[in-house]
């Protein structure tokens, strides 16, 4: 398999999941500003959306959209426990979290990366994100991860987008459960390996 990624982008979550699953894969770096690969080729020729992540399967088929890719990885390695079995209530809970992260957090951060957004508008988006994080923080009370004590692909996604907060001025100080979650995630070997491979940490 090949994972097309950009350092620190939302593609970090399937990168973490692949390492957690112990699946063999190759990393292909994408420059999102120019939509090119390291060799200068046009990324749009590979993914018409021009976005990461993109997972190219061994048969050449390609999957896009992070939450879908995360579930595919989990299903490729069921013994890893990255997601509960399909059809179970617990699986739908993971899907619920994946949808929450993608719609309420991930997309909430998107305007903050746009330098043309006025400061007044940014303050609205930041306030909304803090409201969403208050919900997450409350759900993490007494739990190591979103699903309780079991790590899942939803945690990889939450960690990835929350990692953007400091860089775009979203102050998450005071969310002690979330802070403990982030520290717990950073201690996971797969997370450390993925971040090192992307050049995010030494």
What is residue 9's three-state secondary structure?
coil
Q: What is the pLDDT of residues 16-53, one digit of tens each?
A: 999 999 999 999 999 999 999 989 999 999 999 999 99
Residues 17, 34: Cα–Cα separation, whole Å = 27
CA atoms within 13 A on the CB side of 86: 8
Q: Check: CB of residue 130 under 8 Å from CB of residue 170.
A: yes
Query: In whole angstroms, how far apart are CA 82 and each of 94, 145, 160, 171?
Result: 10, 12, 16, 29
Residues 58-87: what's their mean pLDDT? Answer: 97
Residues 127-131: what's their mean pLDDT? Answer: 98
| CB atoms closer than 10 angstroms to residue 24 | 8
Q: Which of 103-107, 155-159, 198-202 has the lowest mean pLDDT?
A: 198-202
> What domains are there in the chain, each with its CATH number?
2-80+190-197 (3.40.30.10), 89-188 (1.20.1050.10)
Question: pLDDT above 70 covers what percent of the chain?
Answer: 100
Average pLDDT of the chain to the nearest whole number: 97
Q: What is the pLDDT of residues 91-127, one digit of tens each?
A: 999 999 999 999 999 999 999 999 999 999 999 999 9
Q: What is the pLDDT of residues 48-68, one digit of tens each?
A: 999 999 999 999 999 999 999
> Residue 28 has what pLDDT?
98
pTM above 0.95?
A: yes
- How is residue 156 written in tokens? 């990889």
> Residue 202 has what pLDDT?
80
Q: Check: CB of residue 63 under 8 Å from CB of residue 74.
A: no
| CB atoms closer than 10 angstroms to residue 198 | 18
Q: Check: CB of residue 158 under 8 Å from CB of residue 66.
A: no
29: part of which helix (H) or strand (E)?
strand 26-31
What is residue 32's three-state secondary structure?
coil
Strand partners, 64: 54
């Amino acid at each position: 398999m090949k994972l097309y990624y950009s350092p620190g982008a939302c593609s970090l979550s399937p990168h973490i999941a692949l390492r957690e699953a112990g699946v063999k894969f190759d990393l292909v770096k994408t420059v999102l500003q120019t939509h090119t690969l390291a060799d200068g080729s046009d990324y749009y020729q590979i993914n018409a959306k021009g976005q990461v992540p993109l997972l190219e399967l061994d048969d050449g088929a390609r999957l896009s959209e992070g939450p879908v890719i995360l579930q595919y990885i989990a299903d490729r390695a069921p013994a890893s426990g990255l997601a509960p079995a399909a059809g179970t209530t617990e699986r739908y809970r993971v899907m619920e979290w994946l949808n929450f992260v993608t719609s309420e957090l991930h997309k909430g951060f998107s305007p903050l990366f746009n330098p043309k957004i006025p400061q007044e508008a940014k303050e609205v988006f930041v306030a909304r994100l803090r409201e969403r994080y208050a919900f997450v923080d409350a759900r993490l009370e007494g739990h190591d991860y979103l699903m309780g004590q079991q790590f899942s692909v939803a945690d990889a996604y939450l960690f990835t987008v929350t990692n953007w907060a400091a860089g775009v001025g979203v102050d998450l100080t005071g969310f002690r459960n979330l802070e403990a979650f982030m520290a717990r995630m950073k201690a996971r070997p797969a997370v450390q390996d993925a971040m090192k491979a992307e050049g995010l940490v030494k």
